[in-house]
């Protein structure tokens, strides 16, 4: 039995954008402070800005935590009988699909782009027999190795899963 997960680089990219977003209000403030604009507020405008900055950071923290949760909840679990595809779609939608190893027909991998090639991640598609849905997992670490492991599992356990 083994698990197939997204590459850590996917999470790192999302984290990078989160960090960039957390700095955005500070950059905006620096730009606006140069302009000939002043705010007429009942209190100190800098304190008001800091309040909204803290609120913004709370939102960024929540979104980054969501990315992290989504990263860990999207997984393929390959057992000696089947593939279990667990996909978290937002906080309120979760999809779990299973496929018998014996129904696995084609395993396709694709690595798109410079970053994916250099870092070593890509997509894995598993085509099933009949009209059943195709299984796809995006941004997997070392997709070719994953394909080999899936084909090995099919050779080793494909007959078992028919029982």
- Residues in contact with other proteins by CB under 8 A are 36-45, 47-48, 50-51, 54-55, 57-58, 61-62, 65-66, 68-69, 72-73, 88, 91, 94
**Nearer Cβ to other proteins, position 69 or 117?**
69
Residues in the chain, overall count: 163
Residue 101: strand, helix, or coil? helix
Cα 10 → chain centroid = 6
In the complex, what is the shortest distance from the CB of residue 64 to other proteins, in angstroms, rounded to a whole number? 9
Q: Considering beta carbons, is residue 55 or 129 the nearer one to other proteins?
A: 55
Residues forming a β-bridge with 108: 125
27 vs 50, which CB is nearer to other proteins?
Answer: 50
| Shortest CB 41 distance to other proteins, Å | 5
Which one, of 96, 107, 95, 162, lies nearest residue 134 by Cα?
107
* Whether the Cβ atoms of residue 74 and residue 154 lie closer than 8 Å to each other: no
User: For residues 44 and 131, which CB has a smaller minimum distance to other proteins in the complex?
Assistant: 44
């Amino acid at each position: 039995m083994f698990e197939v997960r997204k590459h850590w680089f996917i999470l790192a990219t999302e984290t990078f954008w989160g960090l960039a977003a957390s700095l955005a209000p500070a950059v905006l403030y620096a730009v606006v402070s140069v302009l000939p604009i002043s705010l007429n507020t009942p209190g100190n405008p800098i304190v008001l800005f800091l309040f909204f900055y803290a609120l913004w950071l709370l939102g960024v923290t929540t979104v980054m935590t969501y990315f992290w949760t989504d990263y860990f909840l999207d997984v393929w679990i390959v057992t000696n009988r089947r593939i279990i595809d667990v996909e978290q779609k937002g906080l309120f939608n979760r999809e779990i699909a299973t496929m018998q190893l014996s129904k696995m027909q084609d395993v396709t991998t694709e690595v798109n782009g410079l970053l994916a090639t250099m870092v070593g991640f890509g997509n894995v598609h598993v085509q099933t027999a009949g009209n059943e849905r195709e299984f796809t997992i995006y941004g997997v670490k070392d997709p070719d190795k994953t394909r080999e492991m899936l084909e090995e599992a099919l050779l080793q356990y494909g007959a078992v899963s028919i029982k």
